[in-house]
């Protein structure tokens, strides 16, 4: 028995398949079983290691020297397989390349820029909430969760208005591709050429406005920090990472408030809790379930030796429900101190757009708390099945005006 086989045999076996409808319908018992089984598990089905406890997930996502992103943040190993698109030069990169590209992206998210965006985001939030109150009954996904992030963020980026219906299918392609090649991946790629064509055409310098966040990225080409094609890839990174996740987070928080009337009453009484409510929903019912890393050398996780060039799946949403880290981990509490949740990832690859996402969540749900009196489900929700994202495809909601 060689060292690799011995190492795999030393880890408890993960028998569950996390990339199925049955698991996705209610992943939390499965996550709990993973955490109890041990600090690291071996999945013979996907030939990867799995970590599900908070401390181990945090370590795998933070120690980039040992757990690399450059071989892909999905199940596919770029050391052995050709990716379906050029690897992201920020998400699927390690330093020094990651340092160079992340530095440029960080310029678009400074406190000054976020402050400039606040008035516009708050105005659009008021319009959105007034619109759903006029409806009374609405779909929390299509009428609420998807409308706002597909408008305010692309507006801020400087993206053309026409064709934005391609944004969500593109995100679906990206996130599903991080998992195995299954029915969800096949469905996401059904119209791949048209979607990819629109994205490629509209992330160019010529397609973007001259006063948006995209223009800040292209300015780095003029200063010699980036090449023209690299700037286009960074704009595309924004679109894959900054739209779907926020849309899904909105739907998930709406569901949390509709099904936890005590927490909804807290938010109504204190609309200033909106930002913390958004953070707690990312912990309790976060959209981003997992990402993968690839070991650069032999290492040890929880006493198990893991060889080099092995895929490790880090379940962030399991970490967010780990009772080793959180008291009452399975309770939704908008007054909880939420520091340390994995909803935005962690380490050098922590979500670069989180200041914008937080601004969006705070603006919308503060307006919601001020203007809405009651919220309840108007019918059974329907689950959206995605290899990496947890979300609803439909969420019937009924509200009344304050």
Confidence of residue 18 (pLDDT cuts 50, 70, 90): very high
Residue 6 is predicted with a pLDDT of 73
Q: Is 1's pLDDT higher than 70?
A: no
Neighbour order of strands in the sheet with 372-377: 137-139, 396-401, 372-377
**Model confidence over 253-263: pLDDT tens digits?**
999 999 999 99
**Model confidence over 138-184: pLDDT tens digits?**
999 999 999 999 999 999 999 999 999 999 999 999 999 999 999 99
Residue 364 is predicted with a pLDDT of 98
**Model confidence over 87-115: pLDDT tens digits?**
889 999 999 999 999 999 999 989 999 99
- Burial code of 277-295, b = ≥16 C-beta within 10 A, e = fewer? bbbbbbbbbbbbbbbbbbb
What pTM, to 2 d.p., does this model score? 0.95
């Amino acid at each position: 028995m060689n060292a690799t086989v011995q190492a795999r045999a030393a880890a408890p076996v993960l028998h569950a398949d996390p990339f199925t409808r049955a698991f996705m319908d209610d992943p939390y018992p499965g996550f709990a079983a993973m955490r109890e089984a041990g600090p690291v598990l071996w999945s013979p089905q996907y030939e990867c290691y799995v970590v599900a406890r908070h401390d181990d997930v945090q370590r795998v996502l933070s120690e980039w020297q040992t757990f690399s992103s450059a071989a892909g943040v999905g199940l596919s190993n770029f050391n052995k397989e050709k990716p379906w698109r050029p690897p992201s030069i920020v998400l699927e990169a390690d330093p020094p390349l990651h340092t160079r590209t992340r530095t440029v992206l960080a310029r678009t998210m400074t406190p000054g820029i976020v402050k400039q965006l606040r008035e516009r985001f708050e105005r659009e939030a008021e319009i959105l909430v007034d619109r759903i109150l006029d409806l009374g009954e609405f779909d929390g996904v299509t009428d609420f969760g998807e409308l706002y992030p597909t408008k305010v963020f692309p507006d801020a980026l400087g993206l053309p208005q026409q064709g934005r219906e391609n944004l969500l299918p593109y995100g679906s392609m990206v996130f599903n591709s991080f998992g195995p090649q299954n029915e969800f991946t096949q469905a996401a790629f059904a119209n791949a050429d048209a979607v990819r064509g629109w994205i490629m055409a509209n992330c160019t310098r010529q397609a973007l406005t001259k006063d948006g966040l995209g223009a800040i990225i292209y300015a780095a080409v003029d200063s010699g920090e980036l090449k023209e094609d690299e700037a286009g890839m960074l704009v595309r990174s924004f679109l894959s990472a900054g739209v779907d996740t926020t849309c899904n987070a909105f739907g998930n928080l709406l569901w949390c408030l509709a099904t936890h009337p005590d927490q909804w009453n807290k938010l109504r009484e204190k609309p200033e809790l909106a930002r913390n409510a958004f953070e707690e929903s990312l912990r309790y019912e976060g959209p981003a379930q997992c990402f993968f890393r690839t070991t650069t050398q032999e290492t040890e996780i929880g006493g198990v030796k893991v060889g080099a060039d092995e895929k490790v799946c880090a379940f962030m949403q399991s970490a967010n429900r780990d009772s080793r880290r959180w008291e009452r981990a399975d309770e939704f509490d908008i007054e909880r101190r939420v520091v340390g949740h994995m909803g935005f990832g962690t380490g050098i690859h922590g979500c670069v757009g989180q200041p914008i996402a937080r601004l969006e969540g705070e603006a919308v749900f503060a307006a919601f708390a001020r203007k809405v009196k009651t919220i309840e489900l108007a019918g059974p929700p329907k689950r959206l099945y995605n290899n990496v994202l947890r979300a609803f495809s439909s969420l019937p909601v009924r509200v009344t005006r304050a």
